[in-house]
Amino acid sequence: MASTNQSPFYIQAEKKFLLAQNNEEKLQYLEEMIRECPKHKSAEKMLANLKTRYIKLKEKIERTRRVSKGASKKGIKKEELQVAIVGKTLSGKSSLLSALTNAKPKISDSMFATTQSQIGMMNFSGVNIQMIEVPAIESEYYDKGLVHTADLILILVDSIEQINEIKKKLGNTNNKTLIVFNKIDLLNTNEKRRLEATLKSHKLNFVMISAKTGENFSELKEKIFSGFGKLRVFTKEPGKKKSEKPVILESNSTVKDVAEKILKGFSKNVMETRIWGPSSKFPGQKVGLTHLLKDLDVVEFKTR
């Protein structure tokens, strides 16, 4: 570019371009450079080059804009097991997310503190469960799309009335749900007993917790996992210990499904399968590929 005689204005613009902090600024100075670029014949190539750079940069900026806009909506990478925490403001969504996962959302006693979905990871017996706090259901930031793709919706409430209110707002969904009644540290033994009786009488799948004290968290985690309706199956090779992390499978899975998943399509290489755990008649029972599995089974494959 130096070969063409440039005006001081052009040189100035180019300097600013080179010092620009971000793409938006670069674009602005590139535009200035185009304006200041000499329009005579010998500079034609250079002008064309500047214009190409301008268009490319503009496209790049628009691309990243689209991506980051999407990220706040549905750009959250969905893990195998995903839970959405849904509830009214101040029900304790951030408190729960923060107590169960590595996330550090803002916990506050002023309303609508969470305006963007917050993500955390919870490990439960070797299974990673992605948990998402969705902004309060009655707020403009509530993200319906995110909720409807979750494997399980935690309906977090601190009063009985909120249950139907939230269910109504959720509308008809195919999602599995679990009612989580929070703040039971504020109730005495009698009040807890009455609350439990009421929830039972409505035949709800529920758990009563305190996000503050951690009361009943182990029951909560169990219910979250069973809420997915999935199986954890450990695998092993003959003479070795079982895998540390289980394979996650749909509830009606067979030995063949595990084999396909871990052998990546090479289940035909399985010569013999033995099974330990809930679905076996006795430890080490030999089974065929159509054998139906149960949660926490251990499957051993002898392959060729």
Q: Tell me which residues touch Mg ion (CB under 5 A).
A: 93-94, 114
Put residue 223 in one of left, alpha, beta given phi > 0 → left and psi -120 to 50 → alpha.
alpha
Regarding 94 and contact with ligand GTP (CB under 6 A), the answer is yes
CA dihedral 194→199→205→210, nearest 10 degrees, is -50
Do 288 and 252 form a contact (C-beta atoms < 8 A)?
no
Do 152 and 220 form a contact (C-beta atoms < 8 A)?
no
Minimum separation from the CB atom of position 161 to ligand GTP (A): 16
Q: How many residues are given for the chain?
A: 304
The continuous run of DSSP H or E covering 164 comes out as helix 161-170
Residue number with CB closer to ligand GTP (136 or 287) = 136
Regarding 274 and contact with ligand GTP (CB under 6 A), the answer is no
Residue number with CB closer to Mg ion (93 or 183) = 93
Do 131 and 97 form a contact (C-beta atoms < 8 A)?
yes
Regarding 183 and contact with ligand GTP (CB under 6 A), the answer is yes
Regarding 113 and contact with ligand GTP (CB under 6 A), the answer is yes
Minimum separation from the CB atom of position 18 to Mg ion (A): 43
Can you tell me which of 12, 38, 47, 112 binds ligand GTP, judged by CB under 6 A? 112
**Interface with ligand GTP by CB under 6 A: which range of 88-96, 251-259, 260-268, 294-302?**
88-96
Minimum separation from the CB atom of position 79 to Mg ion (A): 21
Residue number with CB closer to ligand GTP (32 or 215) = 215
Q: Which residues contact 268 (CB under 8 A, 6 or more apart)?
A: none
Minimum separation from the CB atom of position 169 to Mg ion (A): 17
Residue number with CB closer to Mg ion (23 or 89) = 89
User: What sections of 214-254 are H helices per DSSP?
Assistant: 217-228
Give the span between the Cα atoms of 260 and 267, in whole angstroms: 5
To the nearest 5 percent, what fractions of the chain are helix, strand and coil?
Answer: 40, 20, 40
Site string for ligand GTP, 206-235 (x = CB under 6 A): ----xxx-----------------------
Using CA of residue 208, residue 214, residue 217, residue 218, what is the dihedral sign? negative
Minimum separation from the CB atom of position 190 to ligand GTP (A): 18
Give the span between the Cα atoms of 40 and 43, in whole angstroms: 6
Can you tell me which of 50, 83, 84, 95 binds ligand GTP, judged by CB under 6 A? 95
Minimum separation from the CB atom of position 134 to ligand GTP (A): 9
Residue number with CB closer to ligand GTP (108 or 164) = 108
Q: Which two tokens stand for residue 178?
A: 């679990």
Can you tell me which of 182, 235, 279, 280 binds ligand GTP, judged by CB under 6 A? 182
Minimum separation from the CB atom of position 217 to ligand GTP (A): 11
Q: Which two tokens stand for residue 29?
A: 């100075």
Site string for ligand GTP, 114-133 (x = CB under 6 A): x-------------------
Q: Give per-residue burial for 58-77: e unless 16+ CB within 10 Å, then b.
A: eeeeeeeeeeeeeeeeeebe
Regarding 162 and contact with ligand GTP (CB under 6 A), the answer is no
What is the contact surface with ligand GTP in residues (CB under 6 A)? Answer: 87, 89-95, 107-109, 111-114, 136, 182-183, 185-186, 210-212
